[in-house]
Amino acid sequence: VNRNKKSITVNIRSPQGRDLIHDLVKKCDVLVENYVPGKLDEMGLGYEQLRALNPGLIYTSITGYGQTGPYRMKPGYDVMIEAEAGLMYITGEENGTPVKVGVAVTDLTTGLYAHGAIMAALLARHKTGRGQHIDCSLLDSQVVTLANIASSYLIAGQEARRMGTSHPSIVPYQVLPSRDSHIMIGAGNDGQFKILCSVLQLPELPNLPDFRTNKDRVRNRKALITILTERLRTKDNAYWLEQLEGRGIPFAPINNIAQTFEHPQVIARGMIQEIDHPKAGRIKLTGPAVKYSETKPSIRIPPPLLGEHTDEVLRDVLGYDDQRIRDLKDSQAV
């Protein structure tokens, strides 16, 4: 998570370090921080203090619980907030225990909200000439991404539950076991169900009254899944993947990470990029997710070594001369 950045080392607890940050702030458009509220203010680096130096500054705070409210001073942890704000409760097997998502999704969601908010503030500044303080939190971002699942609760009081890999209202639309692995199959309507049954060589199934429409299939879910599972278990994943190819039903293997990064579409989309790192040599990083017709975002700078760009930034951005830079190093401000 650190490519396309320059690293400078600054001791912001020292007065010279703080002055350096002040100088940088005057030359920056955006500041992003994730300290517990009040911490940076103590060091003379809070929003009110910095906006006095640069009224156009967009100051973005990312915290666990936000700048306001009874929990604002609580440190934030992705996994804790997944548990606290409903996501863990709804993830996991129906008869199993709640589990966390395999990546720190709440952290990532918050980062995604913040990146958009910063650009919104840049657009606003274009009209008003002023910066502002943006307040992002893991908790708020987590809650809002409960989206349609939360809506069932908010609108109708319907408590959410874990569905494992099943869909609450479409059958079959879930992970099913094959002889050697698992496969994700979605037969979202009657037409797709017919195709699925022909692939599985169960042509009589769609005509049975128990399974004819989706409503019927939902009602007789257990029985149907048992039949499908029995048939799927007779062959390996590779066989079924081949059979389902091009038949018009959504399906996918449950790819592990190696398989994910070998996926032909992932490669075609440039989602793995190789770059040179000064220590590690050639390393692979994930490519930019969004493609633009007018520009080509790329990995211009590898993830930086600690303090790799301190001298460069002090010299080229702040215009400090060699003596001043030496003084800052001597006083351990950088």
Partner 1 sequence: MLRVRAHSGRALAQGFAAFARAGASSFVSKSVLTVARPQAASRLLSTTSTIKQHPKEENQAPPTHTSPPPLLSQESNAPAPANGGLALPLDGIRILDLTRVLAGPYCTQILGDLGAEVIKVENPKGGDDTRAWGPPFAGNQHDPADRGESAYFLSVNRNKKSITVNFRTKEGQAIIHDLAKRCDILVENYVPGKLQKYGLGYEQLKELNPKLIYASITGYGQTGPYATRPGYDCIIEAEAGLMHITGESTGPPVMVGVAVTDLTTGLYAHGAIMAALLARAKTGRGQHIDCSLMDSQLATLSDIGSSFLISGQEPHRWGASHPIIVPYQAFPTRDSRIMLSGGNDGQFKSLCRILGLEHLPTDIRFRSNSDRVKHRDDLIKIMTERLQEHDNQHWLKAFEGQGVPYTAINDFAHTFAHPQVAAREMVQEVEHPKAGKLKLIGIPVKYSESKPSVRLPPPLLGQHTQEILRDVLHYDAEKVDSLATAGAI
Give the active site residues.
107
Q: How many angstroms separate the Cα of 290 from the Cα of each of 4, 108, 186, 298, 320?
A: 16, 16, 27, 11, 37
Find the shortest distance in angstroms from Cβ 208 to partner 1: 26
Cis amide prior to 98 (ω within 30 degrees): no
Q: Is 278 in the site for partner 1 (CB under 8 A)?
A: no
Site string for partner 1, 47-76 (x = CB under 8 A): x--------x-----xxxxxxxxxxx--xx
Of 94-102, 198-206, 209-217, 319-327, the window that binds partner 1 (rule: CB under 8 A) is 94-102
Count the residues of the shown chain that bind partner 1, applying the rule CB under 8 A: 158
Q: Of the candidates 289, 296, 321, 323, which one interacts with partner 1 according to CB under 8 A?
A: 289
> For the chain, how far is it from start to end, CA to CA, in angstroms?
23
Rg (C-alpha) for the chain, rounded Å, is 27
Q: Is 141 in the site for partner 1 (CB under 8 A)?
A: yes
Report if residue 310 touches partner 1, rule: CB under 8 A.
no
Q: Closest distance between partner 1 and the C-beta of residue 231, in Å?
A: 18
In one-letter notation, the amino acid at residue 299 is: I
- 251 SS3 class: strand
Distance CA 155, CA 158 (A): 8
User: Which residues inside 211-240 make contact with partner 1, applying CB under 8 A?
Assistant: none
Q: Tell me which residue of 69, 6, 70, 63 sits closest to 40, measured CA to CA.
A: 63
Select 226 or 265, whichever has its Cβ closest to partner 1.
Answer: 265
Residues 145-204 that bind partner 1 (CB under 8 A): 145-156, 158-160, 162-165, 167, 169, 173, 175, 177, 182, 184, 186
